[in-house]
Amino acid sequence: MVGGRLGKVKDMNAPQLIPNWVDGIECETHDGRSFAKVNPADGSVLFSVARSQKTDMNFAVESARNSLPDWAAVPPVKRGLMLHDIVMHMIERKDEIAEVVHKETGKSMKDALGETGGAIECGLFYASEGQRLYGRTTTSSVANKYASTIRQPVGIAGLIIAANTPIANVAWKVFPALVCGNTAILKAAEDTPATAWMFGEIAHEAGLQAGVLNIMQGYGEEAGAPLVEHPDVGVISFTGSTEVGRLIQQKAGERLAKVSLELGGKNPLVVCDDADLDNAVKQVLLSAFSNAGQRCASGSRIIVFESIYDQFTKKLVERTNKLKVGIDDGHDLGPVINEQQLQNMLQAVKKAESDGARVLIGGKRFSGKGYKSGFYMAPTLIDNVKPKDEISRCELFGPIACLYKAKSYTQALKMANDSRYGLTACIHTKDFDRANHFIQHVQAGTVVVNAGTYGSEPHMPFGGLKQSGNSTREPGTEALDIYSELKNVYINVSSSVD
Ligand code: NAD
Ligand code: MN
């Protein structure tokens, strides 16, 4: 157990060792092992983090198993009210949550506050779903027989998340899992441990019963994999890369566990010849570079009509050149999450260049004055690449976008769909028929007209086609189908009453 918590980290309400939350108690791992979490803004060590292993995950599953009967027996409306209390505590501590998000990710306080607001909105939505866990009542072919469905919890939910929007990612999974009556084990992203830990503290403070939500720190292979493989975990919900998602699907498939996968994207944004070019430029900048491009829904393939290509590209490069990189509210984007990710991006750009690509702007790391040893990737635009090139096909999860020329709408749509991913897509046009055709025919789980590739709201279903997922949708009411089992109920009565 963590005794004195070793004091708090400077400027941040987080302990120097980020512990697990198991059975309502903060604890270290069974062997006391930990790893260092590095500050993306300057490369310094922020704090250390419990490095959970299979043994620790087994404790967490045991805790979730023990608390399941009581939590599942709480009426859904009351479960919703409990979640509402958690949300109220989040509202009270909004600045503190945002501060932790800001410190762990290097995104500005303004962006961290926006993200926290989104997580709160998500919590409010699911808290109210406690009053609406609808089943279906219908007719029967037999007299005096009544057919209906009710929702029941799956059991223990294993939740595994990415680091890009840490508090939103926690909310997206924890709230729907709990309102449906499951108990949960959340495996935090190794790059954003403190946000998940703080959510655990808030849930505890708000009075959530011990063991209903267990929050575990650690690496994917060491802590995530044992959760996926545990025979008692009935549903796994995963947000992360396609490569890891595939592994999880295979592992969970062996025991036929329910799996929901929210995976990567290489999302197209089409700029037609009739688009409002200033709006298109603004939306491309946001889609490609906000959150340092670390969004599954970021726009990384910008497909522009040939007739406006030069004019559009010139404007876009000029505006990109004015973007400010840093961690303050006046900055447009911050660092990427870790050194490894940054190196992957630099290598991908180098490889593309050697294949004949043209770097229009960026392509390098920012370091030195103001940047220290932080993980700052310059906002990067690349053209002269072919749709078959590696840089056109692989998700980089950073502030890098490629530009492509299309001769016509038909060719643009074909290029947009030429991807193993199918998460989001966007078109900029004033032509309603063109927009509608795109809505109908683009292969994506989310389609946007005249804005960015990202920005899905918590009450709406998000998810991807092809290798962007396994066809499930979260959040929205659709997530309730992931976290509950439908029971088909037949009631037969006697017609003779006296
Ligand atoms: P990642 O797949 O490397 O890691 C995601 C999570 O999975 C982490 O918590 C990690 O510890 C864990 N993990 C890693 N290996 C594991 C294993 N073998 N078993 C169990 N868990 C394991 O992803 P990342 O690089 O951290 O995040 C970026 C990816 O996430 C991108 O591909 C991005 O598109 C995707 N993403 C998708 C969505 C969405 O909603 N579709 C949202 C955000 C991010
Ligand atoms: Mn990864």
Q: What is the 3-state secondary structure (H, E, C) of 346-409?
A: HHHHHHHHHCCCEEEECCCEEEECCCEEEEEECCEEEECCCCCCHHHHCCCCCCEEEEEEECCH
What's the pLDDT tens digit per position in 443-486? 999 999 999 999 999 999 999 999 999 999 999 999 999 999 99
* Ligand 1, pocket-test mutation among 161, 215, 261, 397, most atoms within 8 A of CB: 397
From ligand 1's centre to the CA of 237, what distance in Å?
A: 11
What's the pLDDT tens digit per position in 486-497? 999 999 999 888
- pLDDT-derived band at 11 (thresholds 50, 70, 90) equals confident
Cβ of 444 below 6 Å from ligand 1: no
| Straight-line distance from the first to the last Cα atom of the chain, in angstroms, rounded to the nearest whole number | 65
Cβ of 28 below 6 Å from ligand 1: no
What's the pLDDT tens digit per position in 324-352? 999 999 999 999 999 999 999 999 999 99
From ligand 2's centre to the CA of 241, what distance in Å?
A: 6
- In this structure, the strands spanning 45-50 and 17-18 are parallel
- In the predicted model, is pLDDT for residue 432 greater than 80? yes
CA distances to 174, 184, 256 from 236, rounded to whole Å, are 12, 10, 11
- In the predicted model, is pLDDT for residue 309 greater than 50? yes
CA distances to 9, 298, 329 from 425, rounded to whole Å, are 41, 9, 28
Cβ pair 149, 228 in contact under 8 A: no
Cβ of 224 below 6 Å from ligand 1: yes
Cβ of 219 below 6 Å from ligand 1: yes
Q: How far apart are alpha carbons 300 and 313 in whole angstroms?
A: 14
Q: Please give the average per-residue pLDDT across 402-410, as a whole number.
A: 98
* Residues involved in catalysis: 262, 296
Q: Please give the average per-residue pLDDT across 288-297, as a whole number.
A: 98
Q: Please give the average per-residue pLDDT across 59-67, as a whole number.
A: 98
In this structure, what is the dihedral angle of CA atoms 61, 63, 67, 71, given to the nearest 10 degrees? -60
- In the predicted model, is pLDDT for residue 6 greater than 80? no
- pLDDT-derived band at 356 (thresholds 50, 70, 90) equals very high
Sorted by sequence, the CB contacts under 8 Å of residue 397 that are 6+ apart come out as 164, 264, 293, 294, 298, 336, 341
Cβ pair 31, 58 in contact under 8 A: no
DSSP-derived secondary structure letter, 256: T
- In the predicted model, is pLDDT for residue 418 greater than 70? yes
- In the predicted model, is pLDDT for residue 367 greater than 90? no
Q: How far apart are alpha carbons 474 and 236 in whole angstroms?
A: 13
Cβ of 259 below 6 Å from ligand 1: no
What's the pLDDT tens digit per position in 139-171? 999 999 999 999 999 999 999 999 999 999 999
Q: Please give the average per-residue pLDDT across 285-307, as a whole number.
A: 98
Q: What are the tokens at 358?
A: 């043209």
- pLDDT-derived band at 1 (thresholds 50, 70, 90) equals very low
Residue 212's pLDDT is 98
Residue 227's pLDDT is 98
| Ligand lying nearest the CA atom of residue 261 | 1
Q: What percent of the chain has pLDDT over 70?
A: 98
| Ligand lying nearest the CA atom of residue 166 | 1
Q: Could you tell me which of 421, 148, 178 has the C-alpha nearest to residue 301?
A: 421
Residue 396's pLDDT is 97
Q: What percent of the chain has pLDDT over 90?
A: 95
* Ligand 1, pocket-test mutation among 244, 294, 421, 467, most atoms within 8 A of CB: 244
- In this structure, the strands spanning 358-361 and 267-271 are unpaired
What's the pLDDT tens digit per position in 84-115? 999 999 999 999 999 999 999 999 999 999 99
On the 0-12 / 13-18 / 19+ scale of CB atoms within 10 A, 459 is middle
Average pLDDT of the residues of the chain? 96
CA distances to 254, 322, 345, 497 from 485, rounded to whole Å, are 20, 51, 42, 35
- In the predicted model, is pLDDT for residue 13 greater than 90? no
- Which residue is listed with tokens 């989001």? 424
How far, in whole angstroms, is CA 419 from its chain's centroid?
A: 21
* Ligand 1, pocket-test mutation among 37, 52, 160, most atoms within 8 A of CB: 160
Q: Could you tell me which of 174, 152, 193, 188 has the C-alpha nearest to residue 15?
A: 193
Residue 414's pLDDT is 98
Residue 2's pLDDT is 46
Residue 240's pLDDT is 97
- Which residue is listed with tokens 């299979």? 54
Q: How far apart are alpha carbons 339 and 62 in whole angstroms?
A: 36
Residue 243's pLDDT is 97
Q: What are the tokens at 193?
A: 């441990």
Count of alpha carbons within 13 Å of 252, Cβ hemisphere only? Answer: 25
Return the residue whose CA atom lies nearest to atom 26 of ligand 1: 162
Ligand 1 atom, smallest distance to 160 CA: 9
Cβ of 310 below 6 Å from ligand 1: no
- In the predicted model, is pLDDT for residue 382 greater than 80? yes
What's the pLDDT tens digit per position in 192-209? 999 999 999 999 999 999
